[in-house]
């Protein structure tokens, strides 16, 4: 009889613990879901360099280290920049392209994307190798983030033939 009573008490105790932990767990999950829904989105100042590259420069170029120094730019007139379909969160920008109008050689182009992200002023430089007549993506004209639009003004700062 004593063994049966101990068994019954043990089962009762275990069921209470399981009941409490299940109830507590679902309350925690519910609180976490509510917190996530109510928590504000990331602020523009919290974006990393990689975040900006992913949001703006979905392009066919590559990052390049350029610090504003003068570089040869003799072929700037052989490069055309165009903007086409909408892009970015809420379609706040235009998809941009660069096209070589030169029909003879491949051109290396260094493009500066200047920005002002709520007082954080700077630029990101990208390099593109354009074959004769080739058209490449420059990414989006704007960083579209949290319902706001930040222009990334593109400018050719370097252009020269690639020596083969």
Same domain, 64 and 31: no
Same domain, 76 and 142: yes
Same domain, 35 and 64: no
Give CA–CA dist 132/106, Å, rounded.
Answer: 6
Q: What is the pTM of this model?
A: 0.71
The CATH number of whichever domain residue 65 belongs to comes to 2.60.40
Instruction: Say if CB 12 and CB 87 are below 8 A apart.
Output: no
3-state secondary structure 45-108: HHCCHHHHHHHHCCCCCEECCCCCCCCCECCHHHEEEEEEEEECHHHCEEEEEEEECCCCCCEE
Same domain, 30 and 54: no
Assign 39 a pLDDT band (cuts: 50, 70, 90).
very low
Same domain, 48 and 100: yes
Same domain, 78 and 108: yes
Q: pLDDT tens digits, residue range 106-162?
A: 999 999 999 999 999 999 999 999 999 999 999 999 999 999 999 999 999 999 999
What is the extent of the structural domain holding 145?
A: 44-161
Assign 2 a pLDDT band (cuts: 50, 70, 90).
very low
pLDDT at 26: 47
Same domain, 1 and 75: no
Greater pLDDT, 32 or 46: 46
What average pLDDT does range 59-74 have in this prediction?
A: 91
The residues, any chain, with a CB within 8 Å of residue 79's CB and separated by 6 or more, are 98, 99, 100, 101, 107, 109, 130, 156, 159
Same domain, 54 and 24: no
Report the number of distinct structural domains present in the chain.
2
């Amino acid at each position: 009889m004593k063994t049966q009573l101990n068994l019954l008490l043990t089962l009762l105790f275990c069921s209470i613990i399981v009941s409490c932990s299940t109830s507590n767990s679902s309350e925690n999950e519910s609180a976490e879901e509510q917190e996530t829904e109510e928590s504000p989105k990331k602020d523009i100042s919290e974006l990393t360099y990689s975040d900006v590259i992913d949001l703006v420069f979905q392009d066919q170029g590559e990052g390049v280290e350029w610090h504003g120094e003068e570089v040869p730019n003799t072929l700037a007139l052989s490069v055309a920049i165009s903007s086409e379909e909408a892009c970015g969160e809420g379609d706040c920008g235009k998809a941009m392209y660069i096209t070589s109008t030169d029909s003879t050689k491949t051109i290396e182009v260094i493009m500066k994307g200047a920005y002002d992200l709520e007082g954080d002023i700077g630029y990101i430089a990208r390099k593109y190798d354009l074959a004769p007549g080739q058209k490449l993506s420059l990414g989006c004209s704007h960083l579209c983030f949290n319902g706001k639009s930040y222009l990334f003004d593109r400018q050719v700062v370097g252009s020269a033939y690639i020596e083969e």
